Structure 1
Amino acid sequence: MLTDLILFRHGKAVRPHEARDDFSRGLTPRGRLQAAAQASRLKEAGCDLQLALVSTALRAAETWDACRPVFPDAQVHLSRPLYLAAPSIYLNAAKTAKASRVMIIAHDPGLHELARSLMKGDTGQDRGQTSLREHLPTSGVAWFCADPEASSGFKLKQFWAPEPVSA
């Protein structure tokens, strides 16, 4: 049963004209540093990740590469259908995975739409909730926990926007 769902938007990618196509856009140095820092924040907050579901787009795969040292025991599943997917695809992938603590590394607008739908009915107004309702930045991380009393079945546990880094 899914108990923890972490939505991790890929790190900052190179500009579109710097890659062959959108799928081939890799991370910038800043994107790599921020992704690694966000993974460390998750670990320090007590996240014991079991499975990472990762879009096969280069920027998502490179985001996982930056996270992997922090979660060396986590399984990883690279999935082409997670590239620019709809929120329902992301949620179904997590719910059908054989793990209770799952992270999805993928893309907007689908991840942000999923985060907003999971927060539907949650009237909390803390800074993280307000910020996440507006935007899920690159390297943004939203950690949801199962909550049978929440209308979506999940409650936002923590949201982190990336800290500025010097690359």
Structure 2
Amino acid sequence: MTTHLHLLRHAHSSWAEPGQRDHQRPLDERGRREATRLAGELAARPRAVDRVVCSTATRAVETFDLIRPALPNGFTVEWSDALYAEGVDAYFSALRSAPGSVLLVGHNPTLEELVDSLAPTVESSLQDGIGTANWLTLHHEPVGDDEGAWRLSEIWRP
């Protein structure tokens, strides 16, 4: 069972150029600055990550590439078209398939839907939504034989 869930929305990206698919949109300068600031935060206060599942959208991959050196070694990475194209069920599937600590690098509004489903009481903490390059950590608290509950333990906004 996943015990810690880290969520990262990709950093800011440019609008698609004529003829460019949404999936191919890269980070813009603001997005590179956001991801670099997040990498600094992660390096200063490391978070345990056993498995990363990252959307294959260019902006998500570029965000992960910029923060990857700041994460402790020893995690596995899975690239997922589903996190881009298939909605919240794909995020739940990624979450259920891994024990330990998982980082999902993805997109809105799906990340907000996931948080709302897992921990609906955090709504007041997310009144501004999940912005670009925002990092959230939720931890699972089992209660007896019950599945328990997810609690928001961290929000980092650039």
Calculate the TM-score normalised by the size of structure 2.
0.86
State the aligned residue count: 155
**Cα deviations across residues 95-134 of structure 1 (Å, max 9, x unaligned)?**
202x4111000111111111122221x3x6xxxx624144
8 Å contact kept, 1:55–1:81 = yes
Residues 58, 86 of structure 1: CA spacing in aligned structure 2 closer, same or farther, 3 A cutoff? Answer: same
Q: What is the CA-CA distance between 1:42 and the residue it aligns to? A: 3.8
Change (3 A) 1:27 1:51: same
Calculate the aligned-residue CA RMSD, in Å. Answer: 2.3
Label 1:137 to 1:155 Cα distance change in 2 as closer, same or farther (>3 A).
same
Q: Is the 8 A contact 2:9 2:131 kept in 1?
A: yes
Provide the rounded CA distance (Å) in 1 between the counterparts of 2:49 and 2:79.
16
Question: 150-159 vs 87-96, which deviates more?
Answer: 150-159
From the superposition, tell whether residues 152 and 12 of structure 1 become closer, same or farther in structure 2 (CA, over 3 Å).
farther
Structure 2 residues without counterparts, runs of 5 or longer: none
Q: Which amino acid aligns with 1:83?
A: Y
Q: Give the conservation status (yes or no) of the 8 Å contact 2:49–2:72.
A: no
Unaligned runs of 5+ in 1: 163-167
Tell me which residue corresponds to 2:96.
95
| Structure 1 residues 85 and 161, CA gap change in structure 2 (3 angstroms) | farther
Matched, 1:6 2:6: yes
Return the offset for 1:8.
Answer: 0.4
How does the TM-score come out when normalised to structure 1? Answer: 0.81
